Amino acid sequence: MKKIFAFLLLGLTVAFASCGDEKTETGTDWFLTPVAEVNGTTVGLSCQTRFGEGVLENTSVGFSYAAVVDNKIGAFADVAGSAVDGTGIAATLTGLQPETSYVVFAYAGLSTGRVQSAGAVFKTGQDDMPDPDPERPAFGTPAASGVTKTEATLSCTFNFEDTADYDVYFRYKPASSGSYDRVNVPTGTGTKTAALTGLTPGTTYEFALCADWGGQTYTSAAATFTTSSDGGGGNTGSAKYSGWPELPVEVANSDYYYAYHICPDFSVGGHKARNYTVCFSAENHCPLWVSAPRHACYEVKNTDRTDAYGRDPKIPSNIQCSSKSTGGGCNKGHMLGSAERLVTREVNKQVFYYTNIAPQYSGSFNTGGGAWNNLEAFVDAQVCADTTYIVVGTYFKPFTDAYGQSCSPAKISFGGRNDVTRPSMFYYLILRTKSGSTRKSVRDCRADELKCAAFVLRHNMEKGHKPQAKDMMKVSDLEALTGFQFFANVPNAPKSSYNPSDWGL
């Protein structure tokens, strides 16, 4: 029996995200809610969009889905074989687990990145068993789920009533290899599953369900899956918008407030571009981090610096600074700089929100020839034809750097308040392609095509200091230090390693 579902996912702890790139917070600017037509464990998916006719014809489109077990969402996988129908997207899912809830969203890979719909949920029915054949075993459509760097789960329905001895098993091998491995499964009619481990990262495998009976081997149709590349960060959390590569994972903390700023009057590919995201601390009255894409399109000078200092309308005003006054030996340090957002006046005004500003030492750090200014110039040189993704952050505990020098935080008078915390350390995370000109999303790149690293500077770093290899830190180490999970939307981001020579150091 067919059932049609079209309801938003409610009550589950998951944070989807604009895939790419420039999606607004609602998730409905460019997509309607996906519709699922369920027939047993086969599901027809469709999603209408608000893109113009023909926009999706030469675009990577599709659906991503994941099983929901015990109110927890598993790993997402993309549906193979999605098709464009006018301004809509359609696909068929087969071989799903019976009587299981799944969450699904539609996506489109635009030139600026991947955007996606809001999530929807459906529940499969009972096994859609193949019709029995008295003369031979019958198979459904094989499928792979839960694919990681080294693991995958295979499934396929099977129908055979003969009582004679026979064997049922999955066979699998790398697509480029000629030798199959085998995993035996129980005989009898039903859904067969097998968990594979020890797979090779970044490898495409082909597999099928087989039955040996009466001196012959019967097989299902062949299917494939591809493991993720080695060197990924092992991400387990979810950022609010899954297609924004720069986003850290939101941390549930009463001290943290988040704002996602969309450019009010600057569009890319027919939709409004995003500006930046901030995580703001109520206790420190200071940003904890600001994440943003960097690209030349944002820096085209169509306006001058606005100096439009003011409160962020998306963050409670009582926890922000109230004026542009300075103190504690500091000036106003932009996390995302004004020069990085000159494309329109309104876009530039957003970077003057107090939530994008932290107190920085004016004599040695945030000044001409200062350590921070020199690092900013280094980052500017990393901007390339492919989009560069950054996270700029602060640290509010005592910090000792790789040179053995220390700095501690302190309460100062700043921005019209007397309880602002002056950070002990600032960090700059960068993620981009190594070549800078792949014309691919970082989400679609192998680990060896990417470079990412953290640059950390104690706040009292000496004036004149320029970026050095000793300033660098593995992203995974900075995660351990700060408690934040970075680049969670880029599975192959090489967060556990870096090579200074990749950065010219």
Residues comprising the binding site?
A: 366
- In angstroms, how far is CA 66 from the centroid of its own chain? 15
The helix (H) or strand (E) run that includes residue 391 is strand 388-395
Task: Name the nearest CA neighbour of 65 among 40, 100, 31, 30.
Answer: 100
Per DSSP, the chain holds a count of helices (H) and strands (E) of: 4, 34
DSSP conformation class of 49: B
Q: What tokens appear for 17 in the block?
A: 């995200």
The position carrying tokens 């200091």 is 465
Residue 373, φ and ψ in degrees, nearest 5: -60, -40
Among 222, 228, 180, 183, which residue's Cα sits nearest to residue 204?
228
Catalytic residue set? 334
CB 250 within 8 A of CB 239: yes
The total number of residues shown for the chain amounts to 505
At 253 the three-state DSSP class reads: coil
336, 355 Cβ separation under 8 angstroms: no
Contact 97, 68 (CB under 8 A): no
Q: For residues 350 and 268, is the Cβ–Cβ distance under 8 A?
A: no
CA dihedral for 479, 254, 261, 366, sign (positive or negative): negative
Say which residue the tokens 């988040």 belong to: 258
- Sequential DSSP letters for 146-183: S--SS-EEEEEEEE----S--EEEEEEEETT-S--EEE
Q: From residue 327, how far is each of 334, 357, 460 by CA, in Å?
A: 16, 13, 16
Beta strands in 197-246 (DSSP E): 204-213, 216-219, 223-226
Rounded to the nearest 5°, which phi and psi values hold at 234? 65, 40
The residues pairing with 172 across neighbouring beta strands, listed in sequence order, are 181, 207
CA distance 337 to 315: 20
Alpha carbons 46 and 106: distance in angstroms, whole number: 8
Q: Give φ, ψ of 243 to 5 degrees.
A: -100, 0
